[in-house]
Structure 1
Amino acid sequence: MTKLTMGAHPYMLGFEQLERLLERNAKSGNEGYPPFNIEQTSDYSYRITLAVAGFSEDNLAITLEDRQLVIRGLQNEDTEGRTFLHRGIAARQFQRSFVLAEGVEVGEAVMENGLLHVDLNRAEPDRVVQTIRIRKG
């Protein structure tokens, strides 16, 4: 059986770059940490919420490159002068990646009660009908 990819599908023209983006995102090591929600807040807006308890704003970085939203977290492990009897809270780093559709823009990012909210907005698409003239060959 031959695997038909999105970029090779005869009705999906020009989606090769999107397919490469999706493959790169799948290989980026998006594990289960930190947990996150994605909610649709209106017809043209979304909110990604990550549970980032223990991280401060300075420990987090949000970047957008080639329609890929990347959220990284890096905690400094400050254990000098401390003796742990039990260590259940690990200082660990993470990277979460999300592929954004064409026209989706990143709004604001807000930290609130250990949750990082990233708002996304998409402009309402214009409905355009174009008639293509056929010329004789």
Structure 2
Amino acid sequence: MATIDLSPLYRSSVGFDRMASLLDSALRSDTSASGYPPYNIERVAENQYAITLAVAGFEENDLEIEVENGVLRVQGRKAEENANREYLHRGIANRAFERKFSLAEHIEVSGAALKNGLLTIGLVKNIPEAKKPKRIDISRSQEELLEDRSKSRE
């Protein structure tokens, strides 16, 4: 697959660093990436989402969830097993893993739960009041608006 050079985006824009790095990471072909553990992303309600990872065999103390700079990182490391066990067949994957999810602006982690081998992470979209649309009533005359503007400059 051909790679795309995104360095011109970094030179000619301000504040879009995260978007450019998201594009860069999405376009980068990483052959070491595996599909383990499998996961689902679902919309629970209008502003609520959930990520569910299949982490059979892992316990709460084997898992670590962290959010930093808009990236949700889920990491699993199994504690050392009893060395005296002799397996005739070992088909259950208890290998260490790390999954990263890029979160959109204003998405916050609301909590996490582990039940029946499924780790569910709740996400909520909290838009600040300043960013929400405001309705502007049209009830004043133009003269009143101009008077208010001139008073605020004094």
Is TM (by shorter chain) over 0.5? yes
- The CA distance in 2 between the partners of 1:60 and 1:77, in whole Å, is 14
- Taking structure 2 as the reference length, what is the TM-score of the superposition? 0.69
Secondary structure class of the residue paired with 1:20? helix
Aligned residue pair count: 124
Give the alignment of 1:1-137 within 5 angstroms. Answer: 8=9, 14-21=15-22, 23-24=24-25, 30-124=33-127, 126-128=132-134
Higher relative contact order (CA 8 A, sep 6+): 1
Structure 1 unaligned runs (5+)? Answer: 131-137
Task: Note the C-alpha offset of 1:31.
Answer: 2.1
Larger Rg: 1 or 2?
A: 2
- The CA distance in 2 between the partners of 1:22 and 1:46, in whole Å, is 22
- The AA in structure 1 aligned to 2:21 is R
Structure 2 unaligned runs (5+)? Answer: 137-154
- Taking structure 1 as the reference length, what is the TM-score of the superposition? 0.76
Task: Note the C-alpha offset of 1:78.
Answer: 0.9
- The AA in structure 2 aligned to 1:95 is E
- The AA in structure 2 aligned to 1:101 is A
- The CA distance in 2 between the partners of 1:127 and 1:46, in whole Å, is 22
Secondary structure class of the residue paired with 1:58? helix
Q: Is contact 2:53-2:119 (8 Å) kept?
A: yes
Q: Percent identity?
A: 40
- The CA distance in 1 between the partners of 2:14 and 2:60, in whole Å, is 41
Change (3 A) 1:85 1:15: same
Q: Which residue of 2 aligns with 1:133?
A: none
- The AA in structure 2 aligned to 1:127 is P
Q: Deviations over 1:33-83 (max 9, x none)?
A: 000000001111100000000000000000000000000000124142111
